Chains A and B, each alone.
Chain A
Amino acid sequence: MSPTPPRFPPLRRVLGRWRGPGVVLAAAGLILSMLSTGSASARAELRATDKAASSPRSAKAPVRVAEFVAECPFTHRLPDDPIVFPGLPGASHMHSFFGNDSTNAHTDLAALKRGRTSCSPTTDLSSYWTPTLYAGGKEVEPTGTTFYYLGEGVRDDVIATIKPLPPGLRIVAGNAKATGVGDPTSIARWSCLHHGEVNPSKDFVNCPSDSMLESYLDFPQCWNGKDLDSPDHKSHMAYPVGGQCPATHPVAVPKLRQVLRYPVNGDPARLKLASGAGYTMHGDFFNAWPEDEMARRVRDCINVIVKCGADGRP
């Protein structure tokens, strides 16, 4: 397993719901966990992006975070894309693959089911991929590869109705065609591990020598309830609006948050993605979780807002 994953996603959630009378011990435990595992960047992130939660009013509520995770180290590189170029090997820019080690241009759900996985838990046969990162023309693969499945992004009453991601669902997050850091269609976010003083950006950031470059990417979490893919590979999914899923995409599903940590820092001028600048960062997901394993996690971790680990247990 890679080093302790960043806890900022759950922390934001926790602080957001830290209200009313509750369990002091749980709160104390939370503070301890913040001190031990919460990085400087995580705390800075809290200050920067969650103003409302920056000062807990009372340390007395149960810790509640709708989350389960999969840690899926890098497996292989191929100029293939089974979503955009199915059956057309070598047609794509270079991708780095995580999780299922069989993914190639011919991948479908049946093939993924026959493959092996780098993921913990090993029940996750899904495939995850991103454009390959190059530093000075040489490939750099992330050594931290955490895939969070979260309830956040919709209201609590909507979280209670979140449905499992259907087998075979394809999701693409981010915009490979983004035109600059001012492009609102870019949802890329680059930051520095343990160095929150470096402001996150849609493009690469200059990380200190004792740091690593981090990429955060949130996938859309509202499904149209019918299609496992769409002709533009995006229309069957949507982002929530005002804490709920739009009528066109009424089915709330867990939000996939991809967190990658690259062993690279310093001058970002030598960095390049196979898709171009940092703001073109995107992620692809092909769901191959066994239905029962996914359903159990959604029931036991997401719907009831409980933080689970890779085993899908609190």
Chain B
Amino acid sequence: MRAATAARRAASAAVLAVLLTAGCGEGSGKPSGEARSTSSAAARHPATRAPGGQATSGTFNSSDIGWIQLMIAMDDQAVLLLGLVPGHSSDAEVEKWAKPVATACRGELARLRKLLARTGVPDTNPHEGHDMPGMVTEDELRTIGRAKGTAFDALFLAAMREHLDQAAKIAHSERSAGADPATRKLAASVERTSRTWRTGLP
């Protein structure tokens, strides 16, 4: 399952690579090769001292960077979950709801990765395998992937509800905690669309 997931991720990354400018990483499927001390990306964008000592990179503060990385991790998983709908769901309403959400989610990911590229922080998923609130975990993906029909629909909708609630909540905080104008603008958009989709959930 993990291999299949990785393959799907690689495929979606390939699609994204076409959509985005060069330099966009593959995202969450990448194994960790993190160095213990310096990273070349961070060296390109040396930290500057914010008043409180919080790290900044250009116009981005730590809240911006943390939010972008978290949303990429969450959306990556949500896209995988949404991809299960055709072939698993037995509810036309669910399929009708999921299709535009999946498209919008991929668009959101593309915008997030563009912002991440601007931060200079590498596109590795620092949250992979973690039990992040609201995030669709690998275990959940496995379980939901084995379900069919109404059982699938119930699990799918519950997971999407959690994802959207958390996305809206964190985006709301980012609007005030963040520093980079484009990131805060995207956060406002994520909060709005997450609430809209949540309301329209079948």
Contact = CB atoms under 8 A, between A and B. Distances in A.
B42 A232 contact: yes
Given A220-B37, A227-B47, A86 B170 contact: no
Interface size class on chain A is: 35 or more
A9 interface: no
Interface residues of B, number: 51
A118 to B, nearest CB: 23
A176 interface: yes
A248 B38 contact: yes
Contact of B39 (A84, A235, A246, A276): A235
Q: Is the interface of A mostly helix, strand, loop or mixed?
A: loop
Interface string A158-182: 0000000000111000011111000
Nearest to A110: B52
Interface in B130-175: 130-133, 166, 169-170, 173-174
Interface of A: 79, 81, 83-94, 105, 108-110, 168-170, 175-179, 183, 185, 220, 222, 226-239, 246, 248-249, 274-277, 280
B141 to A, nearest CB: 15
Contacts of B13: none
Nearest to A89: B173
B43 interface: yes
A204 to B, nearest CB: 15
B70 interface: yes
B91 to A, nearest CB: 31
Given A177-B126, A274-B130, 6 more contacts: A81-B66, A89-B173, A90-B133, A91-B70, A233-B55, A276-B131
Contacts of A234: 34, 36-37, 39
